[in-house]
Amino acid sequence: MINHKNTREQKLQRIIESEKILNEIQDVDVLLERLLTEARSIVHADAGSIYVCENENLKIKYTQNDTQQRNLALGQKIPYSYFSFPINEKSISGYCVVTGNLVNVKDVYAIPSDKPYKFNSQPDLLTGYKTHSILSIPLRTAAGHTLGVLQIINPLDEEGNAISFDDDAELYIKHFAASATQALERTYLTRGMIMRLVKMAGLRDPKETSHHVQRVSRFAVEIYDTWANKKGISPEEQNRYRDSLSIAAMLHDCGKVGISDAILKKPARFTPEEHDIIKMHCCVGAKLFYPYQSLLDEMVLEVVLHHHEKWDGTGYPGEIDIEKANDGDLNSMIHGKPMQKEEIPLSARIVALADVFDALSSKRVYKEEWSEEDVLNEVQESAGKHFDPDVVMAFFEVLPTLRGIQASFAEV
């Protein structure tokens, strides 16, 4: 006989813990992914998705499915989905946004015909997964603005059978969604400020676009996760690290704001003198984050300062005394003692690859985008020279997800 009072207390305790975890996250994407994980764990939901509102559309951000996950090798992720659809009453999540209410569908294959929404059975047909029940809830701010929709699927009973969400589950998820929405609002504010820094750098160097930095960030986090799983990094450390890395990666070239655009915008090869001036962007950017005010600042500084180091010690700027580095003085800014291999911070080794991968895959004024085959050959050949071989290995392992990220940006 289950002691209901006890399990309720445990549930509430679990929700409080989840909220604490969410409150410590600083990056929007990391938060969205974790929010879904936590919501599912509170009500033992087998699967779920999280959507964000973008203009008039709902855009899927993350999908999780324990049953499908079990069929994959350790550390692999289920295929990355990217699609968006118009916000209206015809879909369950669209209906949530329009009405502002939670929707609890007890059996998706028996939705009464008087409901405006239908269940889209296409994914079930494609994957062979059987969706039974769905709980969908809008992430609505106190000011009445809907940021997205949390959708969880198939709560499991003790035997692992998919059942429906009961009144308690509705209550828990309602409560959880309210505080998750606050956390989400906070991370959106942070993201907004970061994007303004990126735009400032973009005024000097137009290839520093918001899409470039967001892709670099998403690539870096995926590469890191794969690397960390292989190295047996603890989940706590992994969660902390990926959150800071996600933000730090977006800021890798923020120091361009301090470099003359007469050079950066030149549509031709740089002279060696011009290249030396450009190399200062690492140190200029790092100075923006020194002295540190947080662990995040520390990682941003690492990435900004060292994202052009190379594994074989032929990169720049090397070890720099950030306090003594003088603006405009090349010696103190770009000619540090060379760094190689593990001397280079992991975060910077990962961003180096993510950044080059995106730059080669993209069209620039002075070049067309490379074919994927050429890009992958270049990455492979640079293992042990420009890039950390372990990071390159993680990159190739997570390549299907990286392709999904590329496609999701091409779509918008």
The distance of closest approach from Cβ of residue 206 to ligand SIN in the complex, given in angstroms and rounded to an integer, is 10
Among 59, 106, 207, 266, binds ligand SIN (CB under 6 A): 207
Pairing of strands 103-105, 45-54: unpaired
Query: Which stretch, 49-57, 62-70, 96-104, 352-360, contacts Fe ion (CB under 5 A)?
Result: 352-360
Q: How far is the CB of 217 from ligand SIN (least distance, A)?
A: 12
Distance separating alpha carbons of residues 273 and 134, to the nearest angstrom: 61
Q: How far is the CB of 17 from ligand SIN (least distance, A)?
A: 39
Select 12 or 262, whichever has its Cβ closest to ligand SIN: 262
Closest approach of Cβ 365 to ligand SIN, in Å?
A: 10
Q: Does residue 205 touch Fe ion according to CB under 5 A? A: no
Q: Phi and psi at residue 156, in whole multiples of 5°?
A: -105, 140
Quick check: 355 binds ligand SIN (CB under 6 A)? yes
Least spacing, CB of residue 22 vs ligand SIN, in Å: 31
Cα–Cα distance, 201 to 207 (Å, whole number): 9
Of the candidates 27, 33, 225, 355, which one interacts with Fe ion according to CB under 5 A?
355
The answer to whether 359 contacts ligand SIN (rule: CB under 6 A) is yes
Q: Which is nearer to ligand SIN, 117 or 219 (CB)?
A: 219
Among 29, 225, 253, 397, binds Fe ion (CB under 5 A): 253
C-alpha torsion sign, points 83, 87, 88, 92: positive
CA dist 10 and 292 (Å) reads 39
Looking at the Cβ atoms of 237 and 319, the one nearer to ligand SIN is 319
CB nearer ligand SIN, residue 364 or residue 385: 364
Answer with the entry of Fe ion, ligand SIN, none that 364 interacts with (C-beta below 5 to 8 A by kind): ligand SIN
Give backbone dihedrals phi and psi of 136, rounded to 5 degrees, phi first.
-125, 130
Q: Which amino acid is at 293?
A: Q
| Residue among 253, 309, 388, 397 that touches ligand SIN (CB under 6 A) | 253
We find the least distance from the C-beta atom of residue 367 to ligand SIN, in angstroms, to be 8
CB environment 224-251: b (16+ within 10 A), e (fewer): bbbbbbeeebeeeebbbbbbbbbbbbbb
> Site for ligand SIN (CB under 6 A): which residue of 247, 249, 278, 284?
278
Choose between 118 and 211: whose C-beta lies nearer to ligand SIN: 211
Residue 225 found at the interface with ligand SIN (CB under 6 A): no
Of 171 and 365, CB closest to ligand SIN: 365
List the one residue from 145, 211, 364, 385 that touches ligand SIN (CB under 6 A): 364
> Does residue 21 contact residue 34 with C-beta atoms inside 8 Å?
yes
Spatial CB neighbours of 110, under 8 Å, sequence gap ≥ 6: none
Q: Is 263 in the site for ligand SIN (CB under 6 A)?
A: no
Of residues 45 and 304, the one with the C-beta less far from ligand SIN:
304
Distances (CA, A) of 19 to 14, 166, 178, 191: 9, 22, 10, 20
Judged by CB under 6 A, does residue 308 bind ligand SIN? yes
- Alpha-carbon distances, residue 248 vs 159, 254, 298, 329 (angstroms): 43, 10, 9, 25
Q: Shortest approach of ligand SIN to residue 150 CB, angstroms?
A: 34
Residue nearest ligand SIN (C-beta atom) = 359
Q: Tell me the per-residue interface mask from 309 to 348 with ligand SIN, x by CB under 6 A, - otherwise.
A: ----------------------------------------
Residues 6+ apart with CB under 8 A from 227: 346, 350, 390, 391, 394
What are the residues binding ligand SIN (CB under 6 A)?
Answer: 207, 253, 278-279, 308, 355, 359, 364
What are the residues binding Fe ion (CB under 5 A)?
Answer: 253, 355
